[in-house]
Amino acid sequence: MNNLALAYVTCDKYSHIWNEWYDAFLEHWDIELPKYVCGEELECPFEDFKHIPHLSVDAEHWTTKLRAQIEQIPEDNIFVWLDDMPMQCNITLRFKALYDWFVKNDADSLRIMGRGSNARYSFEANILSNPLFRLNLNSPYLISYSPNIYRKEFLLRILQWDESPWQNEIHGSKRIRPWKRNIFAYHIDGWYTNRIVKGISQ
């Protein structure tokens, strides 16, 4: 896909989820694009991904680590996918349609949700007969690390504070309201499962 990379974001303590995630990825993902592992010191065993290592960090420096890694990815748009969300079905047709829409409409981020959300939405468009929503500026979770297509420039801006991913979603969402960026969401219920919540295996 033109000018889009996939960034699998992980840390060494979640290495026990890698094989499950990768097996599901091989079964369900069939889109050709550059693929990167934004990990830490352990070598991630995905043969078709380029590893971008980083010294291990505590949770409060998660954004600092990820920013340093994203700066090394040359593509202008990045699909950020966290380690604990293994795929459950193929979404190729919808993903390609969503990325085409993302590019044509100058989006800053477009999250592909696998479940409900507390964000506040306004209808924006229909993509393959399902609604795509714009997040309202007063919404919580303007920043989300659900699987998400990001404009790289926007992603680097929201990662400029030293925070955990959860702090960045909450505090960062308040900080960026004055920016008035184009943030969207689309729901494909159940396309991934959340295996770990704040370090607790499910």
Average per-residue pLDDT for the chain: 94
Tell me which residue range forms the domain holding 53.
4-201
Q: How far apart are CA 10 and CA 13, in angstroms?
A: 9
Specify the pLDDT at position 1: 80
Count up the domains in the chain and report the number.
Answer: 1
Confidence of residue 200 (pLDDT cuts 50, 70, 90): very low
Percent of the chain scored above 90 by pLDDT? 91
Whether 24 has a pLDDT exceeding 90, the answer reads yes
Average pLDDT over residues 33-47: 95
Specify the pLDDT at position 197: 53
User: Among all chains, which residue has been given the structure tokens 């390609």?
Assistant: 96
Specify the pLDDT at position 132: 98
Domain with 166 in it: what CATH number? Answer: 3.90.550.10
Pair of tokens at residue 150: 């990001």
Cβ neighbourhood burial of 104 (10 Å; 0-12, 13-18, 19+): exposed
Percent of the chain scored above 70 by pLDDT? 97
Average pLDDT over residues 43-56: 94
Buried/exposed 51-73: b ≥16 CB within 10 Å, e otherwise: ebebeebeeeebbbbbbebbeeb
Average pLDDT over residues 140-149: 95
Rounding to the nearest 10 degrees, give the CA dihedral for residues 21, 101, 1, 93: 60
Whether 199 has a pLDDT exceeding 70, the answer reads no
Specify the pLDDT at position 195: 72
Of 169, 157, 167, 195, nearest to 61 by C-alpha is: 167
Rounding to the nearest 10 degrees, give the CA dihedral for residues 178, 65, 21, 18: -160
Confidence of residue 194 (pLDDT cuts 50, 70, 90): confident
Of 27, 29, 129, 7, nearest to 75 by C-alpha is: 7
Whether 202 has a pLDDT exceeding 50, the answer reads no
Q: How far apart are CA 3 and CA 78, in angstroms?
A: 8
Specify the pLDDT at position 196: 66
DSSP-assigned letter for residue 106: T
Question: pTM for the whole thing?
Answer: 0.94
Whether 87 has a pLDDT exceeding 70, the answer reads yes
- State the number of CA atoms in the 13 A half-sphere of 32 facing the CB: 1
